[in-house]
Amino acid sequence: MTLRRWRLKLVLAATMSLFVVTIFHFSPYTNESHPHPVTIPVYSHDSSLEDEWMKLRRIQLNLPDYDDPRRGCVMPKLTEYNPVYKSQGYRDKTIKKVVCKKEQDWLVVRNGNISWNPVTIKKYSQGVKCLINWMTRVNDFKQKKREPALIFDSRVNSTVILEDDFFYADCKTRSDIVLSPTYRWSNIMSGIRPKAAVMQRKNDNFLLKKEQSPFNILILGFDSVSHVNFMRRLPKLYHLLTQELDAVVLDNYNIIGDGTTAAILGMLAGSYEEELPETRRGKSSQTVDIYPLIFKDFKRNHYVTTYAEDESSIGTFQYRLNGFKDPPSDHYMRPFQLQAEADHKKHLTYCLGSKPKINILMSWLQEVLTSYPRDVGKFIFGFHSEYSHGVVEELNLADEPVTQWIRDLKDSSLLDNTILMVMSDHGHRFSFTRSTLQGKYEERLPFFSIIVPESLKRRFPKSYHALQINAMDRLTTPFDVYETLRSILYDVNRGVDIGVTAHDVKNMTRGLTLFREIPLERSCSDGKISDHWCACNMWSQVDADKEPLAMRAAEAIVSNINRLVKESGQQSQCQPLTLKHVTRSQKMLPKKDMIAFKESKDHDGRVPDLDEKATIPEVVYEIQVQTQPGNGLFEGTTKYTFSTDSFEVNVKEVSRVNRYGLTSKCVSDSFPHLAKFCYCRDQSLTARDAGYMGIIMG
Ligand SMILES: [Zn+2]
């Protein structure tokens, strides 16, 4: 206990910080070591409080004393399991496996051909006959059967060449054998029919050196999955990506707006919806064909382009917007998915016939990779919502099949020349997660990973290195993904290792390719992200002598060190430490508008609805303390939760920032993990050893 603290006058509130209104009960006559806030702090729209936020913004720009004063964005480190989150309604559920019909599909579609499933042919020895109707897209909301049907008879043909990517199959066993019962099977099916126009593009491909193929890009997106929820709910996939495939994961990937369309437009058009021509339903009859989607760039550069989304009723470009008049890509799965949705009553949940729909989506994407020759670049974007958009826990269902699929891609060498991106658009957006701080952060911090082929790493070492730096330590956004896709086309494919120079700190554009180092200074305002979407926190220096909570935070760190020593049974060896001095303290605050954000006021997600009475649920302090005896310097982070009036310290994350040398010799051999925390009761031994051995500090 420091004497200085007792000199604190009885203070009400204001000491903590101007914008937090807190009433303290403070007793200087007891051993009570800290004041208790008795009310939950609230924001007020008092102008002095606005000033405080402005001041904090300025502080953020200067960023005093954080590890690097230039740093423009500090993100919270979210944990997969947050107790507060749990207490507010987060419940784990066991999700059953997806079970589809037992009867296997009678037909197999591969490499542009339809053939018979050998199991079916064996089972129905009398032969089977199918009516095949190709599926024709009328528009983004309608598709139809093309007539007449083609007759596919197992006794006549073994294969049929696809005339279109999708078809209706209506099959039955042949009935020419008297008395044999008739069995029927019908479904819709999908494949890739390579297009002559695309094949022609490769011949025009003057940009590439003959011996090099363009890099393919395969993106698999998940709707509504935060970064930590990806880790929570897709553990096998996360392990495969990070441990086996050496994925580069963007640690500070921040959304730019509300919902799917904002994220996808940021990525695929480098734009906010508001900047693009009006295409909203009821406001204009203009279709989204007018959008400058990156499919157009890839087509111009001789790629085959592919777009697939599995929940057509909430399509990114169709739910609020007018959809496409013409397909945006060479291969476009929407007609098939619309039909699948219309047919859902004929199938078990999440299935089409014997297969889970997610597998059908993934196989179709994979068919694009195998149906065109190597020198045709492939740009493939697939987006999955079915398991991820609704019930949080159902995302588990994707773990096994997606892991297996990516493993198969790898094992079939399909990733050798393919940049794979596994990503999500934003975190879960439903009410309860929006009401917790963890949920607010999670919504803003989706998952983004990039698996780079070895050949790219080898040929573009500087660009790859820049990508790694940006992933670990820089604020990144969907606009950067857009720029990165463009730089694959315009730099990487032309053999230019652009990573040799970093982005210019003075001329940062809104989107920055990840193949160049992004300046540490980059903040949400540089990335043109509004405050209510910004997950970067603000650090502000605090004077622990004037802010009781900071002093309590310091004491919490010291008492947690003592507790660890005690729990390890070493208090007979080590002296209890007391707080001598707070050498540095700062607190981390979420953006005010981020806390206040409830939801979008408008259907289009353009106008934020901010809660004027929003409270700050927690504050993180980063504190450096000097303890006695021994003058140890420790640095730790602790989170204070207002509702429980408690500090959370993970003592494993407390670092010792000065040398302790031989002062902890009594435990250094037997309890090495305690060495940094222990000041031995018997220092004579260590003094003698020090004299004998010279000054050896550790
Ligand atoms: Zn979404």
CATH number reported for the structural domain that contains residue 259 in this entry: 3.40.720
User: How remote is the CA of residue 260 from the centroid of ligand 1, in Å?
Assistant: 3
Shared-domain flag, residues 245 and 297? yes
Give the end of a domain, one of 430, 451, 472. 451
Cα 425 to middle of ligand 1, angstroms: 5
Could you tell me if 365 and 399 lie in one domain?
A: yes
Q: What is the mean pLDDT of residues 640-666?
A: 83
Ligand 1 geometric centre to CA of 399 (Å) = 19
153 and 221 fall within a common domain: yes
Residues 355 and 419 in one domain: yes
State the distance from the centre of ligand 1 to the C-alpha of 266, rounded, in angstroms: 13
Residues with CB under 5 A from ligand 1 (ion): 223, 260, 425
**C-alpha 141 to ligand 1 mean position (Å):** 20
Number of domains in the chain: 3
pLDDT of residue 584: 84
Q: Is the pLDDT of residue 89 over 90?
A: no
The C-alpha angle 352, 356, 362, rounded to 5 degrees, equals 105
Are 252 and 326 found together in one domain? Answer: yes
Task: Name the pLDDT band for 29 (thresholds 50, 70, 90).
Answer: very low
451, 473, 496: which is the final residue of a domain? 451
Q: How far is CA 353 from CA 101, 596, 689, in A?
A: 6, 46, 77
Judgement on whether residues 337 and 482 belong to the same structural domain of the protein = no
- Residue 568, domain member (yes or no): no
Q: How far is the CA of 599 from the centre of ligand 1 (A)?
A: 14
User: Is the confidence at residue 658, as pLDDT, over 90?
Assistant: no
Q: What does DSSP assign to residue 241? A: I
Domain end marker among 404, 423, 451 = 451
Distance in Å, CA 59 to ligand 1 centroid: 34
Ligand 1 centre from 316 Cα, in Å?
8
Does residue 158 belong to any structural domain of this protein? Answer: yes
Model confidence over 393-406: pLDDT tens digits?
789 999 999 999 99
* Tens-place pLDDT, residues 392-448: 778 999 999 999 999 999 999 999 999 999 999 999 877 556 667 778 888 899 999
Same structural domain, 585 and 620: yes
447 and 469 fall within a common domain: no
Together in a domain, 443 and 494 = no
Buried b (16+ CB within 10 A) or exposed e, 603-636: ebbeebebeeebbbbbbbbbbbbbbeebebbbbb
Residue 143 CA to ligand 1 center (angstroms) comes to: 25
In a domain, 118, yes or no: yes
Which residues constitute the domain of residue 472?
462-522
Say if CB 303 and CB 325 are below 8 A apart: no
Q: How far is the CA of 259 from the centre of ligand 1 (A)?
A: 5
Ranking 76-85, 193-202, 484-493 by mean pLDDT, the lowest is 76-85
**Within-domain flag for 610:** yes
- Does the residue 259 lie in any domain? yes
CA–CA dist 57, 144 (Å, integer): 57
- How many whole angstroms from 659 Cα to the centroid of ligand 1? 50
Tell whether 405 and 266 lie within a shared domain: yes
At residue 53, does pLDDT exceed 80? no
Q: Identify the weakest region by mean pLDDT among 66-80, 221-235, 282-296.
A: 66-80
Does the residue 234 lie in any domain? yes
Among the listed residues 318, 345, 353, 350, the one whose alpha carbon sits nearest the alpha carbon of residue 333: 318
- Please tell me the pTM assigned to this model: 0.79
* 288 assigned to some structural domain: yes
pLDDT value at position 433? 63
Domain contains 258: yes
Tell me: do 160 and 288 sit in the same domain. yes
Shared-domain flag, residues 185 and 301: yes
3-state secondary structure of 446: strand
